[in-house]
Structure 1
Amino acid sequence: MQSLNISTSAMRGIQQALDNTANNLSNIDTIGYKRRVASFSELLTDSMNEQPATDNQNRNTPMGIRIGSGAHLGMTKLDLGQGSLKQTDVPTDVLIEGDGYFLVTRKIKDANNITVDEESRFTRNGSFKLSYDDDKGYVLHTSSGHILTDENGANIVFPEPVKNISISPDGTFSADGMPAPVKIGVWDVENPDQLKQVGENLFDAELAFGAGPQSKYTSAYDNGVTLRQGALESSNVSMTEEMSQLVNIQRAYQLNSRAIGISDQMMGIANQLRSR
C-alpha cells in the first residue's frame, strides 16, 4: 500500500506541475509576464530502528530504514529574469529595466457611487493608455482599468490632454499641458514569491485602504532600476525550456503510472498465494 501512496502523491504533484507549465506557455506573448518554476519537496518520512542484530553485521549505512511517503509540489517559484525588449515607439509604453513593479490602483464604489475601498496592484506590464476618467481627469491606465501612480502612491492625473510625452530613465514624466513634472513610482519587493497573483497579469500589493506604498515597500530606483520609454518587456517564458519540462513531466507521469500497475500486480499475486 505504501508504494501506491507514494506514486499517487507524486502523480498529483506532477499534474500540478503540468498545469504550471501550461500556464507559462499560454502567457508566452503576455507583456511583462514572469514564468513560474515548479519545485518539489519530500513528504514526511518514517524510520524503522528496531531491526534484528544480524542486519547490523557488515552494515555501511546508518541505523534504521527510512520509509518515505512520496513527494508533492512544494511551491512555484517566480522567475524574475528580464524579458526581451520589444520596441513599440508608443510614448505611453514603459519598460522597467531591473527588478521592480509599477503600482496601479482602482477605486471600488458602492451602489451610491461612494468609494468604499481601493485595489492596489503590482504589475510589470508597462502598456498604458491615456484616457479621460470621470472622477479625476486624464489618467494613464492599464487594460484592466487600473490607474498608474506616482512615487507617493497617488494617481497620476492630468487636467487636460497632454502632448509630447517624455519619460526619463529616472521615471520623471513630463509633457506639454502639465503644471509640473511627476515621477512614476516603481517599487521593490523583497520576496516576490509571496505576491498573490490576482489575474490579468497583476499581483496583490496588500496595501490597506488609504495606506501609501512607502509604509511597506521601498523605491526600486534606489537599486539602480531605470525606465525606458517607447518599449515593453516581453514575457520571459522560453518555448524550448517549457517543452523540455513538458517532456520530463510526461516521463515522470509514465514512471509513476507504471509503478502503480506493478504494485497492483504484486498485491494480486500475494492474494492468490494466500488463497491457496
Structure 2
Amino acid sequence: MSGYSSAATLQQLQRKLETLSNNIANSNTVGFKSRSVSFSDVLSSEYTNQPNENRLTPHGLRVGTGARASLTSLSAAQGDVKETDRALDFALTEPSLFFTIATNDGQRLTRDGTFYFSETAGGELSLVTNSGETLLNENGAPIRLPASTISLRLEQAGLIAELADGQEQVIPTFGLTQIGRPQALEAVGENQYVYLQEDAIFGQAQANQVKQRALEQSNVDLSQEMTELISTQRQIQLQARAFSFSDDMAGLVNNIRR
C-alpha cells in the first residue's frame, strides 16, 4: 500500500516542481503571472473495526493512497511597474485588465505591453506584440496608424499618432478586456491567455488604467518560489525513500515465503 501511495504522490509532486520551475524561469518575463499548486488526499479506505478488545487500531482507521494536485491556481496580483522611457511600452495598472490581441487562433489576452510598429499590406502601420500578433482597439478592430507615424502618445481622448511632418492624428485607443475570475484563464503560450468564462467585459482603455513608457514586471516572488522549490525537492526525496523501503519490504516478504 505504501509503495502505491509514494508512487502516486511522487507523480503529483513532479507537477508542482514543474510549476515552480516555470515560475522561476519567467521571473523576469514582462507581465507574467505565477501559478501555485494545491494538493488533496486521494481515495481513502476505511478498515472494518477489529472485534477483539485489545485491538491496535482506532475505530474507523482510514488509510490514504497518496496525494494529488487538485488545483493549479493563477495569481492575478499586480506586478511592479517599471519605467522604461520607451514610447511603445505600456503597463496596465489594474490586475483584472488585459490587452486584447488577434491571432491566427482567435482573440487572446496578454498583460505584456511591449509593442512595436509593423507595416501592413495596405501601407499603414499596426501595433504588434513581441511574437507579431496585432493589438485590437476599443472597437475590436486592429489598431491602424498612418504610415508616417514616428511615435505614439496616450491621452484621455485616445491614442495620439505623432507624424513625421509634425502633425498629430487621434486614433481609437486600446481595447481592454476585464475579467471576473482569474482562475478561468487558460495559458496558451507566448505569455497569452484564453478566458473560459462569458462574463468578460470588453471596452475602451481609460488613461488611468494604462501607464505609458512603463512595463508591468512579473508578480513572481522569487524568494518564496525558491523556498517552495527546496521544500518540494525534499518531499520528493522522502517519497522516493518510502517507495524504496516499501520495495525492500516486499522483497523480504517474498523471500520468507520461499
Tell me the TM-score range normalised by the shorter chain.
0.7 to 0.9
Structure 2 counterpart of 1:226, one-letter code: Q
Instruction: Provide Cα deviations, 1:231-260, integer angstroms capped at 9, x if missing partner.
Output: 001111222112111110111011111111
Match of 1:211 in 2: none
Matching of residue 165 in structure 1 with residue 159 in structure 2: no
Instruction: Provide Cα deviations, 1:210-236, integer angstroms capped at 9, x if missing partner.
Output: xxxxx7521487999711000001111
Matching of residue 78 in structure 1 with residue 74 in structure 2: yes
Q: Which runs of 5+ in 1 are unaligned?
A: 109-117, 208-214
Calculate the aligned-residue CA RMSD, in Å. 2.8
Match of 2:160 in 1: 174
Deviation at 1:148, TM superposition (A): 1.0
Aligned with residue 98 of structure 1, among 63, 84, 94: 94
More divergent stretch after superposition (2-11 vs 238-247): 238-247
Instruction: Provide Cα deviations, 1:68-125, integer angstroms capped at 9, x if missing partner.
Output: 111112222111122122211111111001121110003x4xxxxxxxxx52110000
* SS at structure 2 position matched to 1:30: coil
Matching of residue 31 in structure 1 with residue 30 in structure 2: yes
Instruction: Provide Cα deviations, 1:139-176, integer angstroms capped at 9, x if missing partner.
Output: 111011111112232111123332452213x6832233
Instruction: Provide Cα deviations, 1:50-75, integer angstroms capped at 9, x if missing partner.
Output: 53262689x9x6x4221211111222
Match of 1:267 in 2: 250
Structure 2 counterpart of 1:150, one-letter code: N
Match of 1:51 in 2: 50
Structure 2 counterpart of 1:119, one-letter code: G
Describe the shift of the 1:223–1:4 C-alpha distance in structure 2 as closer, same or farther (beyond 3 A): farther
**How far apart are the structure 2 equivalents of 1:192 and 1:69?**
31
Match of 2:127 in 1: 140
> How many aligned residue pairs are there?
253
**How far apart are the structure 1 equivalents of 2:2 and 2:157?**
57
**Conservation of the 8 A alpha-carbon contact between 1:196 and 1:204:** yes
Deviation at 1:206, TM superposition (A): 6.3
**How far apart are the structure 1 equivalents of 2:157 and 2:101?**
15
Structure 2 counterpart of 1:263, one-letter code: S
Matching of residue 203 in structure 1 with residue 202 in structure 2: no
Match of 2:2 in 1: 3
**How far apart are the structure 2 equivalents of 1:135 and 1:121?**
24
Aligned with residue 246 of structure 1, among 226, 229, 233: 229
TM-score, length-scaled by structure 1: 0.81
More divergent stretch after superposition (12-21 vs 179-188): 179-188
Moved beyond 6 Å, runs of 4+: 220-225
Matching of residue 191 in structure 1 with residue 188 in structure 2: no
TM-score, length-scaled by structure 2: 0.86
| Superposition map of 1:211-230 within 5 A | 216-219=199-202, 226-230=209-213
**How far apart are the structure 2 equivalents of 1:224 and 1:262?**
62
